[in-house]
A and B are shown apart, each in its own frame.
Chain A
Amino acid sequence: MFQAKARADILKEVVNVVSTLVDEAKFSVNSDGLSLKAVDPAHIAMVDLSLAKDAFEEFKADEAEIGLDIDKLSQFLKLARADDIVDIKHDEDKRRLNIVVGDITRRMSLIDTTGMSDPKVPSLSLPASLTVNVDDLVQGIRASETVSDHIALLASPESFEMTCEGDMDQVNWKKAKKDMESLEAPSSVRSLFPLEYFANMLKAVPSGSSVTMHLGNDYPVRVEFKIAGGKGDVRYLLAPRIESGD
């Protein structure tokens, strides 16, 4: 059983976070709230999302798995204004999700979740961590997008940098520790990432909020931020690109 009411803008945030990596996803619900883990088709990135039940206006659920076509959901939510209340009900017998916005009811067929595996979140020890405003980062990304298809993230005890090197041009974005919300780096670390993935992840972060990143040397990056006004947690994991030897 799953039945809930939520503000449309909160659901849109969830859809933005998930659609960055996958078209179809398996949501798990239980009495505490809703969660999801998914890996993109190329196995380069992973999302781990949880939304506490108090992010919803109303929330009632037993343990269940719901397979959703994210595109369909996103299309339907476009009909709703930010402060509209969306009514969601899982129809287990007909294997559908009934969603109501205002006078419109959408009965959405669910995707079979039996073939969808549960990705394991690797446990990583990432020595550096830092917190910055997402809008600053997005500016740096926008400067990089025409230069190359990969971006280097560097954290040192004094600063955090993003560097993008193309065949001809170079872009560097740098923040000193004093201008950041926090920066903890015992030594300098550097990893290279596919820019498109990194950019899309940052674009899913609600504007104005803080992003925390955990970094290592030639190691994945973990990007953490809050959604639903602090009542939801998102963790992205992105695998690096390593251009050494063969």
Chain B
Amino acid sequence: MVDSSSMFDEILSLEDLSRKSSMCVYCKGSKMLCGKDRCSVIARFYSASKTRERIDSLNLDGSSPPSVFVGRFGYPKVAIGPMIPPMHGDTSLYDTPERWAGMSIDDIIDFRSMMVRGMHWVKVGEVESPNKLVVRTRDLALARTPPDVDAQFERKPYGRLSVNDDVQPFGPSAPLRRFDVSTCRFDARLEKAFFDTDLRAKDAVISLYKDGLLLSQIQRAFSVGAFGVGARRKFVPTRWSITAVDSNLGLHMLETTKTFPTINEYRVYETQSLDNRWAVLMMPTSWRYELIEAWYPNTAWNPHSDKIAIMSDCEFYDGRTDYASIGGCYYAARLAVNELLQRERRQAGVSIMREAHPGYILPVGVWNVRENVRAALRDPPRRFGTLKEALTHISTIMDIPMSRWIRNSALLKDALYQKRIDDLWG
């Protein structure tokens, strides 16, 4: 076991964490002064130390899952390029969030932190550029199986684990000098959409989804501008592309979801993972939807408060006209519930409640929301005859009292307080 305080000094100096609050320096991962269950600095370090020697070089050779990244800073001039782990073989898991549900946060950080990001700056409209870095980045995004990638960087990959709310975390990055991709086969369906320059991007996304492609595959190709009407193709920053795909597919499904008969009972689906608790309530009403997130103090996005922060967004039958304030996860979860409603050919009012408990030390991306809601919906629900019974059951799963959920829920307030014209008025 490494002595934790010397390791701390090393990581603070190595990874430019000097701006980190002084509390961390006093704590050094041993006293848990910040209140988190485990030290996120240490969690990053463990992962980094395992891979550091393997990527401490100007050359990197490994099997890309396949994976690409398109940055958003500097838009419309952004950094595109491959993501490469320093290992060979079937690395597809590393960029397939659909297979991550149920894994521990350490496992995810472990393999994501090995993903080295190569960067090449282009204008977003330059998808047709003959530059090999552009062509190969796109080819990589269309690959069916993990090809070997051999990259040369301008300088040694540098940086710590990058984390944010939308995109799954990844490791160090470096500007690319060149990179080669071994001969690989394109996914035939992606290739067909790529060569169809009359097919609108939205229609390409919908038809590929119907063909059974994973969202992560579609989103990857979407981000490199592989879809759309010829001249309008663009690189799309990865974090925008995730929500673009979630949102467009959700809207497409809603066109029909809203015509189906309503479910006949109240249902509660539930799941837990990464110290997040989820309850999905479905009500026998016309389409309406909300996502309410409760962040405990000291979780990823509520680090400096001693109160639980609750935020929510909702839509009723006619949908939204502005972007949800809670961001991409709103659209990811909306897609997941529509998948279930489409399978059953039903519509419903859906209220999703999420508690992020202190063990959720690092945000791991929007996929966490989508895949966990999908996972919750895979198990049979508890069924109830009344809303009251359903809410009583939810109180046994969640920590936050039902009255507080109701105060933050437009749907529950509507269901409990708003009367209907066909109620009995006598």
Contact = CB atoms under 8 A, between A and B. Distances in A.
Nearest to B288: A42
Interface in A85-126: 119-120, 122, 124
B286 interface: yes
B323 interface: no
B181 to A, nearest CB: 49
A94 to B, nearest CB: 24
Given A41-B317, A42-B285, A42-B317, A241 B421 contact: no
Interface in B370-426: 388, 410, 416-423, 425
A132 interface: no
A240 B419 contact: yes
A114 to B, nearest CB: 15
Contact of B425 (A39, A220, A241, A246): A220
Interface residues of A, number: 23
Interface in B268-288: 285-286, 288
B75 interface: no
B11 to A, nearest CB: 44
Contacts of B420: 42-44, 239
B388 A237 contact: no
A241 B417 contact: yes
B417 A43 contact: no
Residue in A39, A120, A122 whose Cβ sees the most chain B Cβ within 10 Å: A122
A90 to B, nearest CB: 26
Contacts of A119: 421-422
A17 B288 CA distance: 24
A42 B316 contact: yes
A242 interface: yes
A169 interface: no
Contacts of A120: 422
Interface string A209-246: 00000000001100000000000000001111111001
Contacts of B423: 239
B421 A122 contact: yes
A39 B286 CA distance: 13
Contacts of B419: 44, 220, 239-242
Contact of A239 (B286, B317, B416, B421): B421
B425 A43 contact: no
A124 B425 contact: yes
Nearest to A196: B316
Interface string A29-61: 000000000010111111000000000000000
A194 interface: yes
A122 B419 CA distance: 14
A219 B421 CA distance: 10
- Report whether over half of chain B's contact residues are helix, strand or loop; otherwise say mixed: loop
Contacts of A243: 417
Nearest to A120: B422
Contacts of A122: 421-422, 425
A43 B423 CA distance: 9
Contacts, number: 48
Contacts of A43: 420-422
Given A44-B421, A220-B425, A246 B316 contact: no
Given A241-B417, A246-B416, A39 B422 contact: yes
A42 B189 CA distance: 40
A230 B245 CA distance: 51
Nearest to B316: A42
Nearest to B423: A239
Contact of A42 (B286, B410, B416): B286
Contacts of B422: 39, 43, 119-120, 122
B388 A246 contact: yes
Nearest to A197: B418
B421 A46 contact: yes
A36 B419 CA distance: 23
Contacts of B316: 42
Nearest to B258: A41
Contacts of B288: 42
A215 B371 CA distance: 49
B324 to A, nearest CB: 17
A44 B416 contact: no
A39 B421 contact: yes
Contacts of A44: 418-421
B146 to A, nearest CB: 47
A42 B420 CA distance: 8
A124 B417 CA distance: 20
A22 to B, nearest CB: 11
Contacts of B421: 39, 43-46, 119, 122, 220, 237-239
B417 A242 contact: yes
Contacts of B317: 41-42
B266 to A, nearest CB: 15
Contacts of B416: 246
A32 B317 CA distance: 35
Contacts of B418: 44, 194, 239, 241
B128 to A, nearest CB: 37
A35 B419 CA distance: 26
Contacts of B417: 241-243
Contacts of A41: 286, 317
A44 B421 CA distance: 5
**CB-based closest 6 A-B pairs:** A239-B419, A43-B420, A241-B417, A41-B286, A41-B317, A243-B417
18 contacts: A39-B421, A42-B285, A42-B286, A42-B288, A43-B420, A43-B421, A44-B418, A44-B420, A119-B421, A120-B422, A122-B422, A194-B418, A219-B425, A220-B421, A237-B421, A242-B417, A242-B419, A243-B417
Given A42-B286, A120-B422, A242-B417, 18 more contacts: A39-B422, A42-B285, A42-B317, A42-B420, A43-B422, A44-B418, A44-B420, A45-B421, A46-B421, A122-B421, A124-B425, A149-B410, A220-B421, A241-B418, A242-B419, A243-B417, A246-B388, A246-B416
